[in-house]
Structure 1
Amino acid sequence: MNWTVKKFEELSISELYELIRLRIEVFVVEQDCPYQELDTKDQEAFHLLGRINGELVAYSRLFQKGKVATAASIGRVIVKESGRGKGYGQALLTKSIDFLETELHEKGILIHAQQYLQEFYESFGFKPISDIYLLDGINHLDMRRESYK
């Protein structure tokens, strides 16, 4: 897997189109969840893109502390359907955490997790910090990871 992290203004038009297409493909179409995908937060984010043979198969949106929450955060965590079950999700989350903790020196990371992925995030040290709530028709919970690096 080839990984790159880019700020919004570093993305090419093709890269931006590709990542938005993947987000809509998964979050809107696949999960049958109409919601406002373009939320004006992309401009504040770092964008982690994972490619295999040039194809975008994994993506997440990363925020420094204070940009969208009181702690750093990870959002729009996606693995393309054809890439699931191959360890790409684990690699994506590992890269996301590593970038925030190593490159940006963040200590706490928040995530608004879909409930069915709770155990997955717990395996990376995230702990629930909220009750389950409905967001865009899908059960979510807030989770936080603390780093002691």
Structure 2
Amino acid sequence: MLEIKVKSFQELTTTELYNLLQLRSEVFVVEQDCVYQDIDNKDQKALHVIGLKNKKIVAYTRLFKPGDYFNLSSIGRVVVDKNERQHKYGYDIMEASIKSIKDHYNTTEIKISAQCYLKRFYNNLNFFEIGEEYLEDGIPHIGMLYKK
């Protein structure tokens, strides 16, 4: 089980920020071979959900209140360290993220922009497809809404 921390941008230590940006870069830029601007000036508005195992960040998401990214609250930059995926930490970090949106933003309406190959994973968490598939940074994505 992961140790979960939820922090505002201002609450992040420089080491935490460095490590979460390193994890995002390892997966989204290097592993997925996708050149894109990860540091997008949105982290400052986000809540950061950090999943720690033995004090190392192995899972992460960032959350936005309604209106800061989409009209609804949202979860983005969902990432799990490649060497830790067999432990199903994606479910742990997403469940913690959904709970954090309920606790911090008092809503259960959540929209995500999901990579298409992860549709089934998000379906298992009660997210369902809306609209058509689209390319984002050269990777097929689809909008999904959380319904509980």
TM-score over 0.5 for the pair: yes
Q: Could you give the per-residue CA deviations for residues 11-43 of structure 1, whole angstroms, max 9, x where no partner exists?
A: 111111111111000000000000011010000
Classify the secondary structure of the residue corresponding to 1:119.
helix
Unaligned runs of 5+ in 1: none
Contact 2:128 2:147 in 1 (8 A): no
Q: Is 1:13 paired with 2:14?
A: yes
Paired positions, count: 147
Give the drift of 1:111. Answer: 0.5
The 5-angstrom pairing of residues 80-95 of structure 1 reads 80-95=81-96
The aligned counterpart of 2:80 is 79
The aligned counterpart of 1:137 is 138
Give the drift of 1:146. Answer: 3.1
Q: Could you give the per-residue CA deviations for residues 89-108 of structure 1, whole angstroms, max 9, x where no partner exists?
A: 11111101111123321131
Separation of aligned partners in 1, 2:22 and 2:110? 26
Q: Report the RMSD for the aligned CA atoms in angstroms.
A: 0.9
Q: Could you give the per-residue CA deviations for residues 61-100 of structure 1, whole angstroms, max 9, x where no partner exists?
A: 0111111110000000000001002120111111011111
The 5-angstrom pairing of residues 57-68 of structure 1 reads 57-68=58-69
Q: Is 1:100 paired with 2:101?
A: yes
Separation of aligned partners in 2, 1:116 and 1:146? 20
TM-score, with structure 2 as normaliser: 0.96
Classify the secondary structure of the residue corresponding to 1:47.
strand
Contact 1:64 1:106 in 2 (8 A): no
Classify the secondary structure of the residue corresponding to 2:44.
helix
Letter in 1 for 2:147: E
- Identity %, equivalent residues: 44
The aligned counterpart of 2:56 is 55
Separation of aligned partners in 1, 2:89 and 2:108? 24
The aligned counterpart of 1:23 is 24
- Of residues 84-93 and 98-107 in structure 1, the stretch that sits farther from structure 2 once superposed is 98-107
Unaligned runs of 5+ in 2: none
Separation of aligned partners in 2, 1:87 and 1:129? 25
Separation of aligned partners in 2, 1:63 and 1:29? 25
Letter in 1 for 2:65: Q
Contact 1:57 1:80 in 2 (8 A): yes
Classify the secondary structure of the residue corresponding to 2:24.
helix
